[in-house]
Amino acid sequence: MQKFIFLGLIILTQFLLANPKGYSIETITTPKDVYFHIAGLDIDKQGRVYCATRYGDVWILDKGKWIQFAKGLQEPCGLVIDDDGSVVVTQKPEMTRLVDSDQDGVADLYLNLSHEWGFHNNYHEFNFGGIKDKQGNFIGSLNLAAGPKVPGLKLSAMSTEGGYRGWAYKVSPEGKFTPIASGLRSPAGLGKNPQGELFFTDNQGDYLASSTLNQLEPGKFYGHPISLLDKPEYNMTTLKNMDDQEFDKMRTLPIVWIPQEEIANSPGNPEWNATKGKFGPFENQFFIGDQSRSNIFRVSLQKVAGRYQGAVIDFMSGFQCGNIRLKFDLEGNLWAGQTSRGWASRGSRPYGLQKVVWDQKTIPFEILDVKLQKESFKIYFTQKINPQDAKKIKISRWWYEYSRMYGAPKSELEELTPQAIKISADGMSMTISCALMKERVYCFDFSELNNDKLANKKAYYTIINLIE
Amino acid sequence: MQLKNILNLVLIFSSSLLLKADDLSELRGQKLYETICFSCHGNKLEGATGPNLKDYEWLHGSSKSDIIKSITNGFPEKGMLAFGALYKQEQINDLVNFILSRQQGLRNVEYKIFHDIQLNDKFEWDKHKADKQRSLKPPHFNPNLPEVNQFAISFKGQLLIPKHLAGDFILSGIRKQYRGIALYIDGDKIPFPTNKDRAIKIPLNLRAGTHDIRLEYIKDFKSTVFFLDLVGKETIPLTSESYRRSITSSHIPKAENAFLINRKRITAAPPGSIIVNHMDKISYAIDPKTSDIKAMWLGKSLDIGPNIYARGQHFAQPIGTHLFSAEQSINLFINGKAAELKYIGYSDKPLPKFIFKSSEGEISLQSKIENNALKLSYSIKSNHALDINLKIPQELNTKLSKGKTKNGLFTPESPQDFFISIPIKELK
């Protein structure tokens, strides 16, 4: 009887959370009495799951058994398994290669790949990683410092004492350190697509109105100005004397804005779905977890006028803790490494590991994708949309102003009336003509649909460029 | 005097006698506790190697008979003796009375979540059916539980105030939203500041015993940061964030019969330094950017608690006596200059060994315990003869391999292999 009630409650919450049908969350037991705040996650070709914990360990889950592979690290926030079986972790002060030289299943060499950046003992100076590029370089991103008494250059909330804080960098297999791009704030997640292009998410805060997904490209500046301290043409005084409009002109806009409180507040790594259908209909999209709202959302990309922009759609909520790391395993299950320490997250657990499993048959009713066309948007669904329902769409648009304020509300928010709605012959997509404008986030809202089958009812498309 | 009053008097008198007997038992229990139990369960029952004995969580049962059983039979496989073999029945009874008299904080908390309730909704808590209702474990108020964006949540339970803490408290905390939070103790609403002040500081007087406590929370501000503690002779956390912060006390990794390598922030050494402890007897901090030994202390390694709880804003604390002052360090000189080294990494098998390269060759530094001393062995591989010196703090008591020492500068007879040994016994 008790079991029955418990199950009933689970179904109830799943229903309330409007999660996609056919997907369920499984919880993996972590080692007893071990602080298991996961901030690095990778899975090898044998299906072994590697977790780096903020406590400083690396653990491997091998056929249901946990093995401690390494320990004593300084808050590693990224982990990637290299081709030779060694493991590269980004500790705060060092990118380290962990080698099991005597093949007993436990690392015995902790080799320094690079420590060429500035680390000044500030708790916020995270070093994110977990990605290897096509040329074999290991990619990292260096968080800015924070705190009430933090020294260094501070124009708003965050601070730097230099040494490429607020930069992304690469380290060659031989250990050569090269800074790549600047203007990052709290870039907690790195990712790549099958072509090997690199991406990062950044967390809302000063100089960042809402969280973002960005393409990581050499030489670019993404908006947080204090990172410019490491460029020879600037110094403390010049940067303090510049105004925000000047920085605004220099910055590269994101691929998508991720609306605060609606989709995510603290996004983790973008994980590309190349599971060949093993994870359902959402192939070739990024899945991203949120550390604060404990959900997972999707981003689909579209290249317009030579650069990416795209759509954000929520996917699943109700995890036990904040999702900071996602990784697909070989069977196409999506694993989520979780932590809430220091930054509260929804859910009942302080840390943990869960995975999302698709039942391999149910196609949930979801907004699959949104693409910009020359004079309209095309919205794709995973099932047929009822033409009557389609008319109930609401459209709004807004933008996010650049400023040193800690997060910013939507600006120039307005409702739009669709000029024309056309359902495709197969009923799987609709074309919506409406006033188009660049540098706007468009929200397509199906909340009025009166159809509970559609689990996530909103899609957000960021227009950076229009199609000429 | 009426009979009723006399009866009352008798009752009061006898109950005070009863109380006295209880008090005496608790006092005897406390004495006993302080002779042995404290070493594993903490001076204030807060827990160390053994679990906390005053909070909501009981691994082996919370009833009086459960606790008697725990103490009598012990947990020999986990290090706690079967105290039944050592103490009389009455003594164990005293211990249990003492432990029970120290129970504190929240118990039996239930929460109810109401979806899609806004602050301006004129919400009547009793008239709505909750979307979710459960008991809360751990029992600390947690407004982050709801999985929906907009909600109201209520918590209802008991607050235990033990005798030794009863009296004045400050209800102290931080909130992100200034509206939508109401706390009731024994039915009385606690007057939170009505301005936008984020800090809460309200004096309260709480008698010993069980109080009814209730929190009502309607989400207003986007994030639900909420700290709330009762600060008196001890601090009693009321919210989950406060509770998580309260377990920051201490966390000391142990080397036991081996060694331990840990990379944590300490003030005594530069950022990125690596700390090695041998057998919980002696530690050193090495700066991998230079190979300098920046600190050395006797005793256990580090309390990394401040580094691994909350955001980790605080420094880990070396435990024990430093063997040389902060400005001092052990430095390697090659051909008369501070060695310019590239840090290759370390190995932890079979012993801690740090490996460096320089234009002159490969240098390694290995540590172990030998003859109750920390032995740091340097090995230098080079194709040509090198002039090697080690600068050693003069305040450090050492034994050195063959060589000459002048003005704190040691010149080993064999520059390929030499050592410095720091006796553990000879405490300064």
Could you give the percent of chain A with pLDDT greater than 70? 96
CATH topology of domain B105-247: Jelly Rolls (2.60.120)
Q: Does B124 touch chain A (CB under 8 A)?
A: no
The yes-or-no verdict on residue A125 having pLDDT over 80 is yes
Residue B236: count of CB within 10 angstroms of its CB? 24
Nearest of A79, A78, A97 to residue A143 by alpha carbon: A78
Q: Does B282 touch chain A (CB under 8 A)?
A: no
Q: Does B129 touch chain A (CB under 8 A)?
A: no
- Non-local (6+) Cβ contacts of A460 within 8 A are A256, A257, A258, A259, A262, A263, A311, A312, A313, A441, A442, A443, A444
Contact B272 A115 (CB under 8 A): yes
**ipTM (interface predicted TM):** 0.93
Q: State the pLDDT confidence band at A399, using cuts at 50, 70 and 90.
A: very high
pLDDT digits (tens, 9 = 90+) for A238-275: 999 999 999 999 999 999 999 998 999 999 999 999 99
Nearest of B147, B268, B3 to residue A293 by alpha carbon: B147
- C-alpha distances (whole Å) from A311 to each of A36, A110, A257, B195 are 33, 41, 9, 40
The yes-or-no verdict on residue B21 having pLDDT over 70 is yes
Instruction: Tell me the backbone φ, ψ of residue A10, rounded to 5 degrees.
Output: -60, -45
Check: CB of residue A117 under 8 Å from CB of residue A129.
Answer: no
- C-alpha distances (whole Å) from B134 to each of A185, A401, B137, B243 are 39, 42, 9, 20
Give me the sign of the Cα torsion angle B271, B277, B280, B281: negative
DSSP state of B164: G
Q: What CA–CA distance (Å, rounded) separates A314 from A263?
A: 6
Instruction: Give chain B positions within 8 Å (CB) of A92.
Output: 272
Q: State the pLDDT confidence band at A445, using cuts at 50, 70 and 90.
A: very high
Check: CB of residue B151 under 8 Å from CB of residue B112.
Answer: no
Contact A91 B263 (CB under 8 A): yes
Chain A nearest CA to B131, separation (Å): 9
Q: What CA–CA distance (Å, rounded) separates B213 from B157?
A: 5
Chain B interface mutation, best of A53, A77, A86, A112, highest count of B Cβ atoms under 10 Å: A112
Instruction: Tell me the backbone φ, ψ of residue A37, rounded to 5 degrees.
Output: -80, 105
CATH number (3.30.420, 1.20.58, 2.60.120, 2.60.40) of A367-463 reads 2.60.40
Cα A338 from chain centroid (whole Å): 13
Name the packing angle between helices B3-32 and B89-101 (round to 10°): 110
Across the interface, which of B115, B225, B345 has its CB nearest the CB of A111?
Answer: B345
Q: Name the more confident of B312 and A452.
A: B312
Architecture of domain A20-358: 6 Propeller (2.120)
pLDDT of residue A171: 98
Q: State the pLDDT confidence band at A3, using cuts at 50, 70 and 90.
A: very low
pLDDT of residue B287: 98
Contact B147 A347 (CB under 8 A): yes
* CA nearest to B351 within chain A: A108
List B403's β-bridge partners, or say none: B412
Could you give the percent of chain A with pLDDT greater than 90? 88
Give mean pLDDT, residues B111-140.
89
Q: A116-125, A210-219, A381-390 — which is least confidently predicted?
A: A381-390
Number of separate helices (H) and strands (E) present in chain B: 6, 28
Q: What CA–CA distance (Å, rounded) separates B402 from B287?
A: 26
List B321's β-bridge partners, or say none: B298
Q: Name the more confident of B69 and A390.
A: B69
3-state SS of B44-61 is CCCCCCCCCCCCCCCCCC
Nearest of A100, A85, A60, A90 to residue B348 by alpha carbon: A100
pLDDT of residue A11: 35
CATH topology of domain B2-101: Cytochrome Bc1 Complex; Chain D, domain 2 (1.10.760)
Give mean pLDDT, residues A102-120.
98
Contact A344 B309 (CB under 8 A): no
The yes-or-no verdict on residue A10 having pLDDT over 50 is no
Q: Which of residues 198-227 of B touch A (CB under 8 A)?
A: 222-225
Tokens matching residue A457: 């009812």
SS3 call for B6 = helix
* CA nearest to B313 within chain A: A123
* Tally of CA atoms within 13 A in the half-sphere of B359 that contains its CB: 5
Q: What CA–CA distance (Å, rounded) separates B393 from B406?
A: 12
pLDDT of residue B20: 72
- C-alpha distances (whole Å) from A307 to each of A139, A217, A311, A438, A459 are 21, 11, 14, 13, 20
pLDDT digits (tens, 9 = 90+) for B35-64: 889 888 888 998 877 889 999 989 999 999
Check: CB of residue A325 under 8 Å from CB of residue A337.
Answer: yes
Q: What CA–CA distance (Å, rounded) separates B236 from B140?
A: 10
Which helix (H) or strand (E) segment is B31 a member of? Answer: helix B3-32
- C-alpha distances (whole Å) from A299 to each of A199, A311, A360, B407 are 12, 6, 22, 66
Residue B401: count of CB within 10 angstroms of its CB? 16
Chain A nearest CA to B312, separation (Å): 6
Instruction: Strands of B43-180 (E only): list them.
Output: 105-115, 132-135, 151-161, 167-175
pLDDT of residue B132: 85
Instruction: Tell me the backbone φ, ψ of residue A22, rounded to 5 degrees.
Output: 95, -10
Q: What is the overall mean pLDDT for chain B?
A: 90
The yes-or-no verdict on residue A44 having pLDDT over 90 is yes
Instruction: Give chain A positions within 8 Å (CB) of B263.
Output: 56, 72-74, 91, 93
| Rg of chain A over all Cα atoms, to the nearest angstrom | 22
Contact B348 A108 (CB under 8 A): yes
pLDDT of residue B5: 54
pLDDT of residue B426: 46
pLDDT digits (tens, 9 = 90+) for A339-360: 998 887 888 888 999 999 999 9
pLDDT digits (tens, 9 = 90+) for B344-397: 999 999 999 999 999 989 999 999 999 999 999 999 999 988 999 999 999 999
Q: What CA–CA distance (Å, rounded) separates A112 from B342?
A: 9
Give mean pLDDT, residues B193-209.
93
Nearest of B69, B94, B62, B97 to residue B83 by alpha carbon: B69
Q: A354-368, B6-20, B44-58, B137-151 — which is least confidently predicted?
A: B6-20
Instruction: Give chain B positions within 8 Å (CB) of A147.
Output: 313
Which helix (H) or strand (E) segment is B199 a member of? Answer: strand B199-206
Instruction: Give chain B positions within 8 Å (CB) of A101.
Output: 347
The yes-or-no verdict on residue A14 having pLDDT over 80 is no
Domain extents for chain A? 20-358, 367-463
Tokens matching residue A206: 């000063």
The yes-or-no verdict on residue B153 having pLDDT over 90 is yes
pLDDT of residue A103: 97
Instruction: Give chain B positions within 8 Å (CB) of A110.
Output: 345-348
Domain extents for chain B? 2-101, 105-247, 259-423
SS3 content of chain B, % helix, strand, coil (to 5): 20, 35, 45
Tokens matching residue A422: 């056309």
